[in-house]
Amino acid sequence: MAQGIRLTSSLSITNVVGGAMKPEVWASIAGLSGLLLGFALAKRRKTDTPDQKSAPDRFHGLDDDKSIRLWRRDGSSCTPSPVGQDHSRIIYGLGEYSQQSRVMLCMVGLPARGKSYITKMLTRYLRWTGFPVEVFNAGDLRRQEGHCGATADFFRDDKDATALREQVASACMEQAFMWLNSQRSVCVAIFDATNTTRKRRQAIIDRCRQTEGITPVFIESICDDEKLLEQNYSMKLENNDYKGMDPVLARADFLARIKNYEHRYEVIDDDEADGEIGYIKIFNVGRKVTMHRCTGYVVSKIGFYLSNIHISPRSIFITRPGETKDEAAGKLGSVSVDMTRKGRIYCRNLASFLLSRREEMRNAGDGEGAETLVLMGTSPVHGATLNELSSRGVTASLFPAMSTSLLNELDGGVCNGMTYDQIEAELPDVSEERQRDKLHFRYPGSGGESYLDVVGRVHPIIIELERQRQSVIVICQTAVQKCILAYFTGCPMEELPFLEMGAHTVTELRPGPFGCTAQRHTFD
């Protein structure tokens, strides 16, 4: 099976999976095996790629202060593409599986219940997998229309206040429909508002029925966990409605706003819209998920993704395997196992770092997140790297390991074993095509891949990294690292090939309720 999960037969990994382990560790490994096997045949080769402009003038990197930054080639700083950027004309990767579906995702729930968090997660995921996505936030529109700083009185059942709120919500919804109607094929609009009444939801459904080819799906976020609510309240009190306001007064006003919503809140029932309503309910940010009448490629994909996300504390460590002599020489696709001295030194430093971080997370009370799994490719150098780590204390009992070909490096086809200088000299047309469009360029010959092929290949890895409540060390080469980092940092797809991934460096990702932080640890 070309892309299936495989347990290697080397002694070190056999010991890893054969030693005494806790039941929850076995459960994690079993879940990972099932997920990866289920996606083993999902890899798809594109035969046609759309014409694209030359490489963008921006690329992502990790700055010296160890935080994620975006830089222009002239050295000036800029930010990742905002939600408002036009993503209407480019469909990448898996988005091309579904050509006739326009989806209107409508958030439902009281304020501070995680709706915006879910919206951001979905936006990042759907864009990474290839779907044009745009977010339409009713609160943002209200503030833009001159109602920034609105007090709790604005959200009462008063006739005038109700009419004004409905006016803003309807205008925001119409913006979403205008955007959907401007799209040529598959796309997703996210209507981020409370939508807490049956009347409002029915109005959305009726509006969708007026336009052929738009499917409404409601995502209701329900949260009764006091700890999560306190975190959400703190974040909400930082928005522009409460800017410069006394924190005590701001909190009292916000809680009064919630009370006003609670009086008219109607949870979604199966019988709405004559039983035809499609919805996904999320309880306490992923602890429980239920779905009703969620069909079609895009909606099913969204439901599956939301069934796996959570905000439990843990780290994801992304690193290259130890440097080999072929890698040092710049050869593509090498399967050499002969490490350089720098490669062995890096493995030694990496082992010390991982053991230290594991102890720090245990002391910080990360619980299950302090337990760590190793996930790596099947190339010989991956096994050699694990053997080096094992000899330095990263043992089977502490760091159970699995290998999968899904994490192998981008396949260079006929260029495997060549350096870039050789390709330029011997295959100038191939070199020129690659420089013209690194995202879509696929190496010629049997097995040759593009970056977008790798994105499709590592999709089940992303789902597993979201699902896992334990920390995970991902050992993979540069192209695969870029695809994973692009997902977690929200890097625009056209800039993915220009992400900088330093040698002898570990990128530590910390997903959480307010986004994903990244830190670089370099061991030269």
* Cα distance between residue 436 and residue 53, in whole Å: 8
User: What backbone phi and psi angles, to 5 degrees, belong to 59?
Assistant: -150, 155
Domains 102-307 and 316-522 share a fold: yes
pLDDT given for residue 296 in this prediction: 86
By the 10 Å C-beta count (0-12 exposed, 13-18 middle, 19+ buried), 180 is classed as buried
pLDDT given for residue 418 in this prediction: 94
Question: What is the block-wise mean pLDDT of the chain (524 residues), using blocks of 10 residues?
Answer: 34 35 47 49 38 34 38 37 43 59 94 92 94 94 89 90 93 96 91 96 95 94 92 88 92 95 95 95 91 91 93 93 90 83 93 93 89 93 92 88 95 94 96 95 95 96 95 96 96 93 92 87 87
Reduced to 3 states, what is the DSSP secondary structure of residue 468?
coil
Contact 475, 35 (CB under 8 A): no
The residue ranges of every structural domain in the chain are: 102-307, 316-522
Contact 136, 179 (CB under 8 A): yes
* N residues, the chain: 524
Cα dihedral angle (120, 320, 52, 128), rounded to 10 degrees?
-20
pLDDT given for residue 286 in this prediction: 84
- Tokens found for residue 117: 């968090």
Reduced to 3 states, what is the DSSP secondary structure of residue 514?
coil
By the 10 Å C-beta count (0-12 exposed, 13-18 middle, 19+ buried), 412 is classed as buried
pLDDT given for residue 239 in this prediction: 86
- Tokens found for residue 43: 């890899």
The CATH code belonging to domain 102-307 is 3.40.50.300
- Tokens found for residue 515: 């986004």
* Cα distance between residue 233 and residue 311, in whole Å: 16
Task: For residue 2, give the nearest of 30, 28, 40 by alpha carbon.
Answer: 40
Sign of CA dihedral 411, 414, 418, 423: negative
CATH T-level fold of 316-522: Rossmann fold (3.40.50)
Triad 450, 487, 35: Cα angle to 5°:
85
Kind of pairing, strands 68-72 and 471-475?
Answer: unpaired
pLDDT given for residue 422 in this prediction: 95
Q: Crossing angle, helix 380-391 and helix 11-18, to 10 degrees?
A: 70
* Cα distance between residue 239 and residue 251, in whole Å: 12
pLDDT given for residue 43 in this prediction: 42
